[in-house]
Amino acid sequence: MQNWNFDFDAAIFDMDGTLLDTMPYWRYTSLEYLLAHQWPVAEDVLTRMYSTSSRRLLMEYAARLGRAIDRGEMIAELEGYMNRHYLYDAHCKTPDVPAFLERLKSRGIRMCVATGSPRQFARNGLERLGLLDYFEFVTDNYEGETTKDRPGYFRAVAKRLGVRPERCWVFEDALYAMRSAKADGCRVCAIEEGTQAADREAILELADVYIRAYSELL
């Protein structure tokens, strides 16, 4: 593939929608929340679920219904639903994920996971699928002083891996994180993800490489 070779030192992977096919679960945690709290499920809310984050959708819907909702408690509840999915339902994003990780390992490329999900939940899903041992560490938005949407985040992760950002590839499905990675000097491999369809053109323009499956890189 154009712009791709194995001449780099480290790979930083997102998890949801990149290593694991879990973005649909995240989107539909909003439905789990509505059913658990016996809220009415409007047709337009169902339509928006796949393309809208659960947190945003629920906050907007609560305001529309005139219902009080504690954001922190809501997030904790959504994360609880997701942890069950990581433990029991999660699958690899594509069947070739293990083969790609094995190829990187065989070339001595250092790897970690940088996820927006709680890192212990991430570890649960990766361990269930036999992927956890490929990674030196799993970090999340709760651990450091910055988050994936801010410049400096991927530079800090690269430093933790002991490599320069320009020697890192970041594997991502989310545009906001790709922008941060590029700002920090990393190269970006975008993974096609249905829940990010609205950003596809911007992702194609920004990413160094765009793939639908890791076999395209093997």
Other beta carbons within 10 angstroms of residue 125's beta carbon come to 27
Looking at residue 143, its pLDDT comes to 79
Are residues 130 and 164 part of one domain? Answer: yes
In this structure, are residues 112 and 13 in contact, taking their beta carbons and an 8 Å threshold? yes
Domain assignment present for 5: no
Taking alpha carbons only, the member of 167, 207, 199, 203 closest to residue 185 is 167
On whether both 52 and 142 belong to a single domain, the answer is no
Which of 88, 117, 140 is where one domain is finished?
A: 88
* Residue 162 included in any domain: yes
- Is 193 part of any domain? yes
Same domain, yes or no, for 28 and 111? no
Domain holding 131, by residue range, is 10-22+91-217
- Phi–psi pair at 112, nearest 5 degrees: -150, 170
Q: Same domain, yes or no, for 153 and 142?
A: yes
Same domain, 191 and 113: yes
* CA nearest to 114, candidates 169, 77, 167: 169
Instruction: Measure the CA–CA gap between 77 and 82, rounded to whole angstroms.
Output: 9
Q: Residue 114 CB: number of other CB atoms within 10 A?
A: 31
Domain count, the chain: 2
37 token code pair: 């709290």
- 109 and 185 share one domain: yes
Shared domain check, 67 and 125: no
Please tell me the predicted confidence (pLDDT) of residue 142: 80
Question: Do 168 and 81 fall within a single domain?
Answer: no
Cβ atoms within 10 Å of 186's Cβ, excluding its own? 27
> Does the residue 2 lie in any domain?
no
Q: Which one, of 13, 18, 22, lies nearest residue 124 by Cα? A: 22
179 and 161 in a single domain? The answer is yes
Regarding whether 115 and 72 lie in a shared domain, the answer is no
pTM: 0.92
C-alpha pair distances (Å), 210 with each of 23, 49, 187: 18, 25, 12
178 within some domain: yes
CA distances from residue 108 to 102, 104, 111, 169, 216 in whole angstroms, order as listed: 10, 7, 9, 14, 20
For residues 101 and 188, state if they share a domain: yes
User: Can you give the pLDDT at residue 167?
Assistant: 98
Task: Please state, in angstroms and rounded to a whole number, the distance separating the CA atoms of residues 176 and 77.
Answer: 25
- The crossing angle, in degrees rounded to 10, of helices 23-36 and 54-65 is 30
**CATH number, domain containing residue 191:** 3.40.50.1000
Q: Give the pLDDT score at 2.
A: 56
Collect all residues with Cβ–Cβ distance below 8 Å to 173 and sequence separation of at least 6. Answer: 14, 16, 17, 18, 23, 190, 191, 192, 193, 196
Asked if residue 3 belongs to a domain, the reply is no
Indicate the residue among 88, 112, 144 that finishes a domain: 88
Tens-of-pLDDT digits for all 218 residues of the chain?
556 889 999 999 999 999 999 999 998 999 999 999 999 999 999 999 988 899 999 999 999 999 999 999 999 999 999 999 999 999 999 999 999 999 999 999 999 999 999 999 999 999 999 999 999 999 998 877 788 988 899 999 999 999 999 999 999 999 999 999 999 999 999 999 999 999 999 999 999 999 999 999 99
> What one-letter code names the amino acid at 171?
F
Predicted confidence at residue 138, as pLDDT, reads 97
